[in-house]
């Protein structure tokens, strides 16, 4: 490609299904976050995407329609971001669009499917689009996830201390980095998804603001033990997971039916905190930085710090990027890596047979 402008856009819509995070970044001389924009999902599209996360009737037609509608919304979001930043589309080298995951099935016959038409997005914005980041890694025997550790190492690495970078979105994933080297990374299990689902089922809001409802309850030791006995928590890395595994049905299998609702919420919060902290403590890190929606959950952050003990735990804002925008920045960076011929995966994380340039390029 002839463009060399270091401006890239990143679009991320994650497991939580709340909306689209959009960022404009500059990649040279260092990654710099320039502007941000958030676009909530319209309720009909949110419902369609949620339905597609599980097998259902006429799902191929539903998928095709949702794919195009989401592509249109990605384009609207991109144009709104550019307008907010007062930047012209022709100055952007590429959009890195993660897409909305509706299936993630790692394994020997695995695949990962993200929708949100890149053709529609590139045609509406007149900007090249890089998407479908995961399946090349999977073709090389990898999990296709997590893909953010290489970005974490490039942007957050420090020669002075080994760090854990933790993204707590719908799922939680950790990156263990030493300087610019990625040592380890994997999905630890549920982040916010079970807490959000349980809260939304019985309360007015879609999430437990600051963990206040969880804080009003008491974790149930026997229930927590039941959660933690799940095979996923005992699998070795590389491993990744998603809504296909940790969902309302998974939770229901563990409930006796006589637990108080707030105690269940407290136990779900403790599950997230313990499953993250126990893995970090194995890695001899000196610092831990949190991004994603979980960084706003005061009760969760308090429990994480409790379990981490002497390991400092704070937000990635301390490292220069607000926790809400780290993942979108990562996919903008991955678009940059694609155009520059830089491998985007970390085989030590995904299990792929080699490092690889990730993403398919769609031209306007």
DSSP conformation letters of 139-151 = HTT-------HHH
CB 127 within 8 A of CB 94: yes
> Residue 231: is it exposed, middle or buried by C-beta count within 10 angstroms (0-12/13-18/19+)?
exposed
Phi, then psi, of 100 in degrees rounded to 5: -95, 120
Q: Which domains does the chain have, with CATH numbers?
A: 7-143+325-362 (3.30.420.40), 149-319 (3.30.420.40)
Split the chain (364 residues) into runs of 10 and give each run's mean pLDDT. Answer: 77 91 96 97 95 91 97 98 98 98 85 96 98 95 95 94 96 96 97 96 92 98 98 96 94 96 98 98 96 97 98 96 98 97 96 97 97
Structure tokens, 328 = 């979108």
> Residue 309: is it exposed, middle or buried by C-beta count within 10 angstroms (0-12/13-18/19+)?
exposed
Question: What's the chain's length in residues?
Answer: 364
Whole-structure pTM value: 0.94
User: What is the CA 20 to chain-centroid distance, rounded?
Assistant: 12
Q: What is the pLDDT of residue 160?
A: 86
CB 48 within 8 A of CB 100: no
Q: What is the pLDDT of residue 4?
A: 63
Cα distance between residue 165 and residue 168, in whole Å: 10
Q: What is the pLDDT of residue 1?
A: 41
Provide the 10 A C-beta neighbour count for residue 34. Answer: 14
């Amino acid at each position: 490609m002839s463009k060399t402008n270091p401006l890239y856009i990143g679009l991320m819509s994650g497991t939580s299904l709340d909306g689209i995070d959009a960022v404009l970044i500059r990649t040279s001389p260092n990654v710099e976050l320039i502007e941000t924009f958030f676009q909530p999902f319209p309720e009909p599209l949110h419902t369609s995407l949620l339905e597609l996360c599980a097998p259902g009737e006429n799902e191929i037609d539903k998928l095709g329609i949702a794919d195009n509608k989401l592509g249109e919304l990605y384009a609207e979001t991109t144009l709104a971001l550019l307008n907010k930043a007062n930047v012209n589309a022709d100055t952007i080298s590429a959009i890195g669009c993660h897409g909305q995951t509706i299936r993630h099935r790692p394994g020997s016959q695995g695949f990962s499917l993200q929708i949100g038409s890149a053709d529609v997005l590139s045609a509406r914005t007149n900007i090249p689009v890089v998407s479908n980041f995961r399946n090349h890694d999977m073709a090389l025997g990898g999990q296709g996830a997590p893909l953010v550790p290489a970005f974490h190492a490039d942007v957050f690495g420090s020669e002075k201390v080994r760090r854990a970078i933790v993204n707590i979105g719908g799922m939680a994933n950790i990156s263990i980095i030493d300087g610019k080297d990625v040592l380890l990374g994997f999905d630890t299990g549920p982040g916010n998804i079970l807490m959000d689902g349980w809260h939304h089922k019985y309360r007015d809001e879609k999430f437990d603001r600051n963990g206040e409802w969880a804080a009003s309850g008491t974790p149930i030791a026997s229930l927590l033990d039941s959660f933690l006995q799940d095979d996923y928590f005992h699998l070795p890395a590389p491993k990744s997971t998603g809504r296909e595994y940790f969902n309302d049905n998974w939770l229901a299998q563990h409930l006796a039916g006589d637990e108080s609702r707030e105690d269940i919420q407290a136990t779900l919060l403790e599950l997230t905190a313990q499953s993250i902290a126990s893995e970090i403590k194995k890695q001899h890190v000196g610092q831990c930085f949190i991004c994603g929606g979980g960084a706003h959950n005061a009760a969760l952050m308090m429990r994480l710090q409790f379990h981490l003990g002497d390991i400092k735990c704070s937000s990635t804002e301390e490292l220069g990027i607000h926790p809400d925008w780290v993942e979108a920045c990562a996919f903008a960076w991955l678009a940059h890596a694609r155009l520059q011929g830089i491998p985007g995966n970390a085989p030590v994380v995904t299990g792929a047979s080699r490092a690889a340039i990730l993403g398919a390029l769609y031209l306007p």
